[in-house]
Chain A
């Protein structure tokens, strides 16, 4: 992209510079993007390919609970499932991470121990993001201190929609700084939630993706799951194009996480096809692509068992947590 020749720091130096860069990105034609996503949705993934896709999808899940009614017991139960999704079948891979509110991070870290499943925490006045920068940074620091490996922050959609890109940029950069762990351990990875359901246009999704990546996002994520529509295939397509182009322009690879509304194996496989044929196979790895979901795991397990045994077990054979 021609815009990439601008040094990144200079691009973010003022609101005008950011605006010039973001509005200089090629537009997204909604009809064409919808068509492309729908066409990829017709790919037929069967037999061995399906079996591999199911295991890959399980290993990419951020198993999520984000309710006011969440308790330590609920989080403990979810963590057990994250490590061993199917108690009867040790060959099922563990999920990528669990995703909880900041005050339950400590509980999750304890429950997961050395299992290798990461702990992600939403932060920054999730889900609306309507608070002061100080509170957002504090929220982040609290989760990081409790041991979160990943922070899922929300952007200030109000600022974005009113054209105050610099404010959005600065908030992301500040939260990114709060993800640093002084001294020991790796910094928390920052996932930036664009809340695409509130951004209204695909042009905005592309601009918000670039803004987040410029500000230091390690991942861009579609949704909080609290706003409808949450993740959709075309929105994810636009974001995958953005990370692909960003790597081509800067050399830095950024991950993508659709979240919310992904409930069936069929849905999950459509997302994997989208990744495969848009950003490319480099992104088909839990380090670079995640699925934010909760009920999806049981459907993946059910389909996995069906492929192995030829029969569907009833829902009672899969754990509810």
Chain B
């Protein structure tokens, strides 16, 4: 009766070059021999642009440029001057927000509603927030131990490697604090989503950022390895899989490089029987189906108290049936495309494993487009702690439902994971929230909400979810010599 007509956001606002080089020392340069690869729109498999997989020599050139910029310009600038650049970048991002949101949705497959209403506002907010810190670092509590508030020193050249799930937002999380503290950076975006990082390079030029302060080298694992292994890098910051994180930790062990890792997760979203159920349903949806579940802190394990299990699952299935999957650029789309064929394979194989191990699969009855990579919002019931879908990170729109009887059992099950990035607690009882937050081994515990981010709030994991914190005052520590 009330079908929403297509309401696509216009693509005209973006200007994608057919081919991109590397951004080194403020200039676009060709790779010194790297292969050319294509980045595609995962919703249509249409080729968007070509770019290079940077080789060791490219990385070396970028690190050299960053070192030079660090020594000659950036580390010598007073904080208030660095702040001006960051404020300028933040404002340009706001001015170009629509363009960047469309570009992000094209390259990543996420719905424009999310890139427009979540990613881009947070990207700008991050730059604004750390711009504010640049001239106040001596008051951040990370002085050189003399207690007199001496200006803490930056580290030098930061090698930063970011994932494909929030390309521009992860760039902001990395670059904003690094620059605010006085470091220069070489950043490698993921090989499936290089376009917004390349657009950010243009923004650096538009902001007249001194050459070499930000360098962008595109590529895949080999480029990342060359960057991490480069001897003149002082700091490695990585967001991605636990597997790659381990390799990085091994590589930098025994060197003077500082490292922060933000890795995988298998968060428990815990719903008690006294929760505000309609809002809990929204929180579960937002926890695991936001960004197609491509979220390291996704609430991929639903722990529901047995006394409300049926009621909650009925409500959840009813709600999932209203989710609108399709064209990421349609303003009414809730669920976009899976970022790559490889990721889709991984989601499929883990889901199949769930069925084989005896869990019951239910998928929202939404039509799936013919082209592109898609996976319907799916939940598994009858999941046991020992099932792979309860232990391994799926990184897709797949929810594993488990039950519990008592708060202690909820805590035990939630913590029974090698990961410890985030958790959610849904109850109307304030004292229980505090008790749970105290017991849960997770870097972030959300109460009666999920997947809420703010630049003022530190983010990071326990256990195999990584170490170091990003965001807030705590996020400065990773980029200061303390």
* Chain A residues close to B by CB (< 8 Å): 1-2, 26-29, 31-33, 35-36, 42-50, 52-53, 56, 241, 272-273, 276-277, 281, 284
Task: Tell me the smallest distance from the CB of B322 to a CB of chain A, in Å.
Answer: 5
Q: Is B448 an interface residue (CB 8 A)?
A: yes
Task: Tell me the smallest distance from the CB of B427 to a CB of chain A, in Å.
Answer: 10
- Contact sample, A vs B, 12 pairs, CB 8 Å cutoff: A26-B278, A27-B428, A28-B279, A32-B282, A33-B278, A42-B331, A44-B7, A46-B5, A47-B5, A49-B2, A49-B4, A284-B2
Interface SS, B side: loop
* Structural contact, B311 and A2, CB atoms closer than 8 A: yes
User: Given A31-B449, A33-B278, A36-B282, is A43 in contact with B332 using a C-beta cutoff of 8 Å?
Assistant: yes
Q: Which residues of chain B come closer than 8 Å to A284, judged between CB atoms?
A: 1-2
* Interface segment out of the listed B30-38, B39-47, B269-277: B269-277
* Structural contact, B278 and A281, CB atoms closer than 8 A: no
Looking at A29, A36, A272, the one whose CB has the most chain B CB atoms below 10 A away is: A29
* Structural contact, A241 and B5, CB atoms closer than 8 A: no
* Structural contact, B7 and A281, CB atoms closer than 8 A: no
Q: Is B370 an interface residue (CB 8 A)?
A: no
B residues 237-258 touching A (CB-CB < 8 Å):
none
User: Given A31-B449, A44-B7, A44-B331, is A26 in contact with B2 using a C-beta cutoff of 8 Å?
Assistant: no
Q: Is B283 an interface residue (CB 8 A)?
A: yes
Task: Tell me the smallest distance from the CB of A65 to a CB of chain B, in Å.
Answer: 29
Q: Is B117 an interface residue (CB 8 A)?
A: yes
Counting from the closest, the 5 A-B pairs by CB-CB distance are: A32-B279, A44-B7, A44-B331, A29-B276, A49-B5
A313 to B449, CA, bound (A): 46
Task: Tell me the smallest distance from the CB of B2 to a CB of chain A, in Å.
Answer: 5
A241 to B279, CA, bound (A): 11
Task: Tell me the smallest distance from the CB of B400 to a CB of chain A, in Å.
Answer: 23
* Structural contact, A32 and B2, CB atoms closer than 8 A: no
A27 to B308, CA, bound (A): 14
Residue of B nearest to A28 (CB): B276
Task: Tell me the smallest distance from the CB of B405 to a CB of chain A, in Å.
Answer: 16
* Structural contact, B117 and A42, CB atoms closer than 8 A: yes
Q: Which residues of chain B come closer than 8 Å to A276, judged between CB atoms?
A: 2
Interface SS, A side: helix
A48 to B3, CA, bound (A): 9
Residue of A nearest to B116 (CB): A42
Q: Which residues of chain A come closer than 8 Å to B1, judged between CB atoms?
A: 281, 284
Q: Is B174 an interface residue (CB 8 A)?
A: no
* Structural contact, B276 and A32, CB atoms closer than 8 A: yes
Q: Which residues of chain A come closer than 8 Å to B4, judged between CB atoms?
A: 43-45, 49
* Structural contact, A281 and B428, CB atoms closer than 8 A: no
* Structural contact, A32 and B332, CB atoms closer than 8 A: no
Q: Is B113 an interface residue (CB 8 A)?
A: yes
Task: Tell me the smallest distance from the CB of B402 to a CB of chain A, in Å.
Answer: 21
Task: Tell me the smallest distance from the CB of B119 to a CB of chain A, in Å.
Answer: 15
Q: Which residues of chain A come closer than 8 Å to B448, judged between CB atoms?
A: 29, 31-32
- A-B contact sample (15 more), CB < 8 A, given A32-B276, A44-B332: A27-B276, A28-B279, A32-B278, A32-B449, A33-B278, A33-B279, A35-B282, A36-B279, A42-B113, A42-B331, A45-B4, A46-B7, A50-B5, A276-B2, A281-B2
A272 to B2, CA, bound (A): 9
Residue of A nearest to B117 (CB): A42
A174 to B109, CA, bound (A): 57
Q: Which residues of chain B come closer than 8 Å to A35, judged between CB atoms?
A: 282
* Structural contact, B5 and A26, CB atoms closer than 8 A: no
Residue of A nearest to B113 (CB): A42
* Structural contact, A1 and B282, CB atoms closer than 8 A: no
| Interface residue range, chain B | 20 to 34
* Structural contact, B322 and A49, CB atoms closer than 8 A: no
> B277-289 vs A: 1/0 string, CB under 8 Å?
1110011000000
Q: Which residues of chain B come closer than 8 Å to A272, judged between CB atoms?
A: 2
Residue of A nearest to B278 (CB): A241
Q: Which residues of chain A come closer than 8 Å to B7, judged between CB atoms?
A: 44-46
A48 to B277, CA, bound (A): 35
> B306-318 vs A: 1/0 string, CB under 8 Å?
0000010000000
Q: Which residues of chain B come closer than 8 Å to A52, judged between CB atoms?
A: 2
Residue of B nearest to A25 (CB): B277
B residues 436-451 touching A (CB-CB < 8 Å):
448-449
> B382-425 vs A: 1/0 string, CB under 8 Å?
00000000000000000000000000000000000000000000
Task: Tell me the smallest distance from the CB of A54 to a CB of chain B, in Å.
Answer: 12
Task: Tell me the smallest distance from the CB of A88 to a CB of chain B, in Å.
Answer: 26
Residue of A nearest to B4 (CB): A49
A47 to B331, CA, bound (A): 14
A153 to B428, CA, bound (A): 33
Task: Tell me the smallest distance from the CB of B448 to a CB of chain A, in Å.
Answer: 5
Residue of A nearest to B7 (CB): A44
Q: Which residues of chain A come closer than 8 Å to B332, judged between CB atoms?
A: 43-44
Q: Which residues of chain A come closer than 8 Å to B117, judged between CB atoms?
A: 42
Q: Which residues of chain A come closer than 8 Å to B113, judged between CB atoms?
A: 42
Q: Which residues of chain B come closer than 8 Å to A281, judged between CB atoms?
A: 1-2
> B1-41 vs A: 1/0 string, CB under 8 Å?
11111110000000000000000000000000000000000
Residue of A nearest to B334 (CB): A39
* Structural contact, B283 and A32, CB atoms closer than 8 A: yes
A33 to B283, CA, bound (A): 11
Looking at B113, B275, B276, B311, the one whose CB has the most chain A CB atoms below 10 A away is: B276
Q: Which residues of chain A come closer than 8 Å to B283, judged between CB atoms?
A: 32
Q: Which residues of chain A come closer than 8 Å to B449, judged between CB atoms?
A: 31-32
* Structural contact, B274 and A27, CB atoms closer than 8 A: yes
User: Given A2-B311, A32-B282, is A26 in contact with B277 using a C-beta cutoff of 8 Å?
Assistant: yes
Task: Tell me the smallest distance from the CB of A37 to a CB of chain B, in Å.
Answer: 11
Residue of A nearest to B319 (CB): A277
Task: Tell me the smallest distance from the CB of B113 to a CB of chain A, in Å.
Answer: 6
Q: Which residues of chain B come closer than 8 Å to A273, judged between CB atoms?
A: 2
A273 to B5, CA, bound (A): 13
Q: Which residues of chain A come closer than 8 Å to B322, judged between CB atoms?
A: 277
A145 to B378, CA, bound (A): 56
Q: Which residues of chain B come closer than 8 Å to A45, judged between CB atoms?
A: 4-5, 7
Task: Tell me the smallest distance from the CB of A233 to a CB of chain B, in Å.
Answer: 14
* Structural contact, A1 and B279, CB atoms closer than 8 A: no
Task: Tell me the smallest distance from the CB of A303 to a CB of chain B, in Å.
Answer: 15
Task: Tell me the smallest distance from the CB of B304 to a CB of chain A, in Å.
Answer: 13
Task: Tell me the smallest distance from the CB of B340 to a CB of chain A, in Å.
Answer: 27
Residue of B nearest to A36 (CB): B282
> B108-139 vs A: 1/0 string, CB under 8 Å?
00000100010000000000000000000000
Task: Tell me the smallest distance from the CB of B394 to a CB of chain A, in Å.
Answer: 25
Residue of A nearest to B2 (CB): A276
Looking at B7, B117, B275, B322, the one whose CB has the most chain A CB atoms below 10 A away is: B7
Task: Tell me the smallest distance from the CB of A25 to a CB of chain B, in Å.
Answer: 10
Residue of B nearest to A248 (CB): B314
A276 to B434, CA, bound (A): 37
* Structural contact, B2 and A53, CB atoms closer than 8 A: yes
Q: Which residues of chain A come closer than 8 Å to B5, judged between CB atoms?
A: 45-50
* Structural contact, A56 and B278, CB atoms closer than 8 A: no
Q: Which residues of chain B come closer than 8 Å to A47, judged between CB atoms?
A: 5
Q: Which residues of chain A come closer than 8 Å to B2, judged between CB atoms?
A: 49, 52-53, 56, 272-273, 276, 281, 284
